């Protein structure tokens, strides 16, 4: 391990061997006064290159993920003004967060409670596994630190807004930046591929779950509008996923036990076992996909004096099941009206069917995210072809379908 006063590197950096340093014929640098390029030759390997090729190697290296850091708790405390800084309006409603500057980088620090206390060595190991993952649809985890029974996770700051704000801005409910169907199809495809990467490609031989999929965990970036999934690695670092397949429950104030989760996105089996799996991630993806198409909330409560408890709940899954298979008539009433009926009805119906397949009661009947990502890419391409063939209406609807 490589240590300094303020950081502990998770993965040891590679060093040149002494034999390489002491070899008198390993590398020879020659500079020509008649040429603007510098030639680097090796008598041992016969390698010849130029400055331009050396510089070209720096470009791919600059985008590779850096090793995550184990920060000192004092660094986090200083960056957040002893945690008195204004909390950041983040993508998570279940944890406190701050946007601050840490080691010269614009970051967001999340405070999450750990289900099981871990030490710094175990934290370093888990970070080293997570650091192997690198995808354009994931918000990068820069590092973490421990304090008491809390873990502070440091993520890069991504300019943009979460999907809830893009779909249902309380300041202007009639406006959405996602006013074109193809943008929503692109977001669905990006989101599906990012989650597929988490399930099957991240951490090499490790199998990850996200465990926090909901519309507030998806950042839509500015110009261009693309998707970045937040909280990658949180489940592994906070022990929110039980690797021993034992139910994970938390004590309530009444000394009872309750399942931790978000209503509307929680798979049925989670309410029974409390164990998060990839299939429960697929369920939550299906709910978000239906939100993206309809613009509606996953679960909404309306006042109704005639109903039990004085309110009535409206579930997006139930409403979606009612509109499929009706020749598009019911679907047009259900799809977000701010799209002004400018979308391919057949593609929209296929996308709704994919969402309903993801939210099936039996987890074994839900599709794998690899299959879902392939379907989303196909539907996105069909949406692109549809948009290229038509002229999008601006101020009026061209649909003659009943509403």
Domain boundaries, the chain: 160-389
Mean pLDDT, range 197-208, rounded to an integer = 71
Q: The tokens 């983040």 sit on which residue?
A: 90
- Percent of the chain at pLDDT > 70 equals 67
Q: Say if residue 259's pLDDT is above 60.
A: no
Q: Say if residue 64's pLDDT is above 60.
A: no
Mean pLDDT, range 163-184, rounded to an integer = 91
Spatial neighbors of 254 by CB under 8 A, at least 6 apart, are none
The predicted pLDDT at position 147 comes to 83
Q: Which residue has the higher pLDDT, 383 or 142?
A: 383
Q: Which residue has the higher pLDDT, 45 or 128?
A: 128
pLDDT band at 222 (very low <50, low <70, confident <90, very high): confident
Mean pLDDT, range 197-209, rounded to an integer = 72
Cα–Cα nearest to 75, from 5, 15, 140? 5
CA 140 from centroid of its chain's CA atoms: 9
The predicted pLDDT at position 242 comes to 41
For all residues of the chain together, what is the average pLDDT? 75
pLDDT band at 296 (very low <50, low <70, confident <90, very high): very high
The predicted pLDDT at position 343 comes to 94
Q: Say if residue 67's pLDDT is above 80.
A: no
User: Coil, strand or helix: which one is 33?
Assistant: coil
Q: Say if residue 397's pLDDT is above 60.
A: no
Q: Which residue has the higher pLDDT, 130 or 337?
A: 337
Q: The tokens 């990006």 sit on which residue?
A: 190
* CA–CA separation, 230 and 94 (whole Å): 13
The predicted pLDDT at position 141 comes to 86
Q: Which residue has the higher pLDDT, 250 or 72?
A: 72
Q: Say if residue 17's pLDDT is above 60.
A: no
Class in CATH terms, 160-389 = mainly alpha
* CA–CA separation, 293 and 354 (whole Å): 12
- Helix 345-358 × helix 278-294 angle, to 10°: 150
* CA–CA separation, 232 and 325 (whole Å): 36
Q: Which residue has the higher pLDDT, 400 or 202?
A: 202
Highest mean pLDDT among 22-26, 175-179, 377-381: 377-381
CA distance between the termini of the chain:
66
CA-to-CA dists, residue 247 to 31, 270, 277, angstroms: 67, 9, 12
The predicted pLDDT at position 308 comes to 62
Note whether 289 and 355 are within 8 A (CB): yes
Q: Which residue has the higher pLDDT, 199 or 117?
A: 199
* CA–CA separation, 201 and 204 (whole Å): 6
The predicted pLDDT at position 36 comes to 44
pLDDT band at 84 (very low <50, low <70, confident <90, very high): confident
Q: What is the pTM of this model?
A: 0.73
- E strand or H helix that includes residue 112: strand 105-113
pLDDT digits (tens, 9 = 90+) for 358-394: 999 999 999 999 999 999 999 999 999 999 988 655 5
The predicted pLDDT at position 399 comes to 54
- Percent of the chain at pLDDT > 90 equals 34
């Amino acid at each position: 391990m490589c240590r300094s006063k303020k950081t502990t590197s998770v993965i040891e950096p590679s060093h040149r061997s002494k034999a390489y340093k002491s070899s008198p014929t390993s590398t020879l640098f020659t500079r020509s006064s008649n040429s603007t390029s510098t030639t680097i030759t090796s008598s041992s390997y016969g390698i010849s290159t130029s400055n331009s090729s050396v510089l070209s190697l720096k470009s791919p290296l600059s985008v590779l993920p850096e090793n995550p850091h184990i920060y000192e708790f004092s660094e986090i405390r200083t960056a957040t003004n002893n945690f008195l800084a204004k909390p950041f309006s983040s993508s998570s409603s279940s944890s406190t967060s701050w946007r601050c500057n840490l080691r010269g980088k614009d970051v967001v620090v999340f405070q999450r409670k750990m289900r099981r206390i871990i030490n710094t060595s175990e934290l370093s190991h888990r970070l080293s596994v997570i650091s192997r993952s690198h995808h354009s649809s994931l918000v990068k985890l820069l590092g973490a630190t421990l304090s008491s029974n809390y873990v502070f996770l440091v993520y890069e700051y991504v300019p943009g807004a979460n999907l809830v704000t893009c779909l249902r801005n309380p300041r202007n409910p009639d406006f959405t930046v996602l006013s074109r169907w193809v943008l929503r199809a692109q977001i669905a495809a990006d989101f599906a591929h990012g989650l597929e990467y988490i399930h099957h490609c991240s951490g090499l031989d490790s199998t990850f779950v996200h465990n926090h999929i909901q519309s507030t965990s998806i950042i839509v970036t500015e110009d261009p509008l693309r998707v970045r999934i937040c909280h990658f690695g949180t489940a592994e670092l906070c022990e929110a996923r039980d690797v021993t397949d034992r139910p994970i429950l938390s004590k309530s104030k009444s000394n009872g036990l309750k399942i931790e989760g978000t209503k509307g996105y929680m798979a049925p089996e989670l309410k029974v076992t409390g164990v998060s799996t990839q299939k429960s991630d697929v369920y939550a993806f299906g709910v978000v996909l239906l939100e993206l198409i309809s613009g509606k909330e996953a679960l909404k409560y309306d006042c109704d004096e005639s109903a039990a408890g004085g309110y009535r709940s409206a579930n997006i899954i139930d409403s979606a099941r009612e509109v499929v298979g009706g020749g598009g008539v019911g679907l047009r009433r259900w799809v977000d009206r701010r799209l002004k009926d400018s979308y391919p009805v057949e593609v929209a119906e296929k996308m709704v069917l994919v969402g309903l397949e993801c939210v099936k009661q039996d987890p074994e009947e839900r599709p794998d995210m690899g299959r879902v990502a392939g379907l989303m890419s196909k539907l996105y391409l069909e949406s692109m072809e549809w948009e290229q063939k038509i002229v999008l209406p601006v101020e009026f609807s061209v649909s003659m379908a009943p509403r």
